[in-house]
Structure formats: structure tokens, C-alpha cells
Amino acid sequence: MMAGEDVVAGLRDPQAQGLERVPVRTREASVTLSGWRLSVLAEQGSGAIVMIETGSEEPRFRGDGIFLGWSQIRLAEAYHALLPAPEESASDSPQLG
């Protein structure tokens, strides 16, 4: 790794571009599931990781673009590493004591 290089899951300078709720269809399910699509831009190109909420099972991940062909473990690690921090609500009161 070179100085100044930010590597996450083998990517150089990855930046989350947006997180959106998306409908997802799978061969295994007879209903439409929900997922979160994380768009990413890196020096290698662009892509997205979709975290599919499967109900009682662990979430599954799909990758496209630069993430195409990645394993479930690698997709999960990249998704969680690149996920933007939740924004604090102005209505949240500070924790006291």
C-alpha cells in the first residue's frame, strides 16, 4: 500500500455515492424482498453492493460493476466498511449523566 492510499476491500480511494432502498427479486423467493443499494466510486471504476434482507436468515449481498464476482464475505466486509455513518437527528437529546 502506498502512502496516502485508502484501501478498503482491495479498492483504491473508494467513496460511497449513495444509499437507497430497492425492491429485489430472487429465484428462491416467491415474493419481492427489500434491499439497500450502496453505490460506490473508486479509482478502479464504479459499482454497487445490494444488501438483501431475507427475513430470518443472514442478509445476502449482490455486487455489480467493480464488485461483480466478489464472494459474500468480501461483499459484506466492503458494504459495512463503506456504509455512511447514520446522521444524527436534530430531535435527539444529548445523553446526560
50 burial type by CB count under 10 A (0-12 exposed, 13-18 middle, 19+ buried): buried
pLDDT digits (tens, 9 = 90+) for 53-95: 877 778 999 999 999 999 999 999 999 999 987 775 555 556 6
Q: Give whole-number Cα distances, 74 to 32, 59, 80, 83, 86, in Å.
A: 25, 13, 10, 14, 22
**Domain range list for the chain:** 11-82
Structure confidence by residue, pLDDT tens digits, 11-32: 999 999 999 999 998 887 788 8
CB neighbourhood size of 61 (10 A): 22
pTM higher than 0.95 for the full model? Answer: no
Q: How confident is the model at residue 4 (pLDDT cuts 50, 70, 90)?
A: very low
Radius of gyration of the chain (CA): 16
Structure confidence by residue, pLDDT tens digits, 27-51: 877 888 899 999 999 999 999 999 9
Query: CA angle at residue 27 from 26 to 29, to 5 degrees?
Result: 70
Region of 83 please: left (phi>0), alpha (psi -120 to 50) or beta.
beta
Helix (H, G, I), strand (E, B) or coil at 72: helix
